[in-house]
Amino acid sequence: MAGRLAPPGGRGARGAGGQRVLSLRRLGRRAWVWLALLVLACLALWLLRGRAEPATRHSLDGATGPSTFQTQDVAASSSGQAWALLNEATLQADAASNVLVLDAAELQRLDQADCARMGPALQKLEPGALPGDEVSQWDADAREHDAWLRRWIIALRQRGDERSLAALDFLDPLLAREDLERRNAASQRLNQRALRSSDGFVLALAAQRPCLPGMGCSQTLPRQRWAQMEPGNLSAWLAAVPSEQPLPETWLNGVMQATHDNSHRAELMSMLLSLPPELPPGPRRLARDLALFGISTSLEVPQFAPLIRYCRAGNDAQRCRAMAGKLWALREPSLLNWSLTLALARQSPPLDPHWESRSRQVEAARQWATSDALASAVEPMILAFQCKPAQDFERQTLGRLLEGEGPMLLAEMQRAGADMASLSKQFRQANGRSLLEPGKPSAAAAGASR
């Protein structure tokens, strides 16, 4: 079949995989809670519950040359340079366990067949009802999810530039979940790339990649080098935060001298979105979005605990207030980053009056994210299995991946005419305090201990 890639030796064994989360829905109020569970489930699926892999593995390092695999009727395509890139890469597939479909037309045909089979039942669903197991278990073994990782790995290796190979080495351990040797090899390659690179994108991937026990990777040197190569980047300094107390002057000065914040997360998302194949709305584009959310979430959150402990101990309250202001002004806006910045600010009273309006903004956004007012969290999935566009979800997905959670969320609140003051009041009534007041650790504040 045109555009399919068949590895030698037949199909490998698959384990149970992870359970596909139903949500990928409108990213609003209640749906934000579902999304948090979704991306965490994606990450856990890739790193903790992967299937069994074949014993024989081939290196994915572009420097060593690609392995050659047989193809089944790989047809020439006239759809332009993007397809030509992927068509050439069919000769360089990794040793994966299933036939991999690369051709956009073939993937669209499969989507249409799925929609024809499942769409009629979905059209009869009562509002708010959940779809049946045929839909919810459509990718329970993560076959389509893994297929997107494999397609991206193939295309990135074919591109062969420094950034693409670094992204490949970042993605490969997410696919080779049970293959420690392959995971460690990819991690070591990424580490070596970072130590000889001056590109902040490469350094950021090495410094923020997930390093689980037994994975054989160390982030210490990449994080130190990232701060050296991008001294004005707040993300680089936060990634390199030392655990010693009191915090060293060199690190504190580096944070205060930062002029911008760039985790390079959006660049990675933009790179993956630019790779073929491009599909119309349907189940497999939804699987792509699931994969992108999980990859975005897999970049590690900086450890805020050392900084909060430093300020809580009463070390230079004026400097702590200045650092909180720096983080608010520069840090990539998200519910987590906002909440952690407020947690840092409240360690060093008295606070300037403008922190009250900042706190109310975050409280309103968090209340909006947990409210029941928006449409069902499963609506985009239901539309995907009818091969229909979910315009709100698609707009919010691109906004979250490319612009960040904070700007996207505030834009959606403004679009809906949300009453910020009322939402903040509801948050304080539900939690018994504002975010500038101490209290029981919230889920967001608990992230500071990571």
Torsion of CA 46, 50, 53, 58, to 10 degrees: 10
In order of 118, 131, 161, the CA distances from 134 in angstroms are: 8, 8, 41
Q: Over the range 102-113, which residues count as b (16 or more CB within 10 Å of their CB) and which as e?
A: bbbebbbeebee
CA distance 450 to 441: 13
C-alpha 354, offset from chain centre: 32
Q: What is the mean pLDDT of the chain?
A: 78
Q: What is the mean pLDDT of residues 273-285?
A: 96
- Kindly report the number of other CB atoms within 10 A of residue 443's CB atom: 12
3-state secondary structure 273-335: HCCCCCCCCCHHHHHHHHHHHHHHHHCCCCCCHHHHHHHHCCCCHHHHHHHHHHHHHHCCCCH
Decide which of 179 and 148 is more confident: 148
pLDDT attached to residue 380: 87
Output b/e per residue, 61-94; b: 16+ Cβ within 10 A. bbeeebbebebeebeebeeeebbeebbebbbbbb
What mean pLDDT do residues 88-112 have?
71
Confidence of residue 120 (pLDDT cuts 50, 70, 90): confident
β-sheet bridge partners, residue 71: 5
Whether the pLDDT of residue 91 is over 80: the answer is: no
Structure tokens of 297? 């979430």
- The total number of residues shown for the chain amounts to 450
Tell me the C-alpha distance between 375 and 17, whole Å.
Answer: 30
pLDDT tops 90 at residue 263: yes
- List Cα–Cα distances, 401 to 149, 295, 362, 408, 409, in angstroms: 17, 10, 20, 9, 12
Integer CA distances (angstroms), 268 to 165, 170, 273, 274, in order = 12, 10, 9, 10
With a cut of 60, say whether residue 448 has pLDDT above it.
Answer: no
- DSSP string of 437-450, one letter each residue: S--SPPHHHHGGG-
Please state the φ and ψ torsions of residue 101, each to the nearest 5 degrees: -90, 125
What is the predicted pLDDT for the residue at 381? 85
Place of tokens 């014993």: 55
Whether 192 shows a pLDDT value over 60: the answer reads: yes
pTM: 0.77
At residue 228, the 3 state secondary structure works out as helix
Distance CA 165, CA 159 (A): 8
Query: For residue 103, is pLDDT > 60?
Result: yes
Tell me the helix, strand and coil percentages in the chain, rounded to 5. Answer: 60, 0, 40
CB 77 within 8 A of CB 84: yes
10: left (phi over 0), alpha (psi -120 to 50) or beta: left
- Reported as a pLDDT band with limits 50, 70 and 90, residue 98 is low
In 3-state terms, what secondary structure has residue 73? coil
* Confidence grade of residue 359 (pLDDT, cut at 50, 70, 90): very high
Q: Using one digit for the tens of pLDDT, what is the confidence trace for 220-249?
A: 899 999 999 999 999 999 999 998 999 999
Domain residue limits, the chain? 4-10+64-273, 303-449
21-35, 105-119, 141-155, 314-328, range with the lowest pLDDT: 21-35
Q: Which of 127-136, 312-321, 395-404 has the lowest mean pLDDT?
A: 127-136
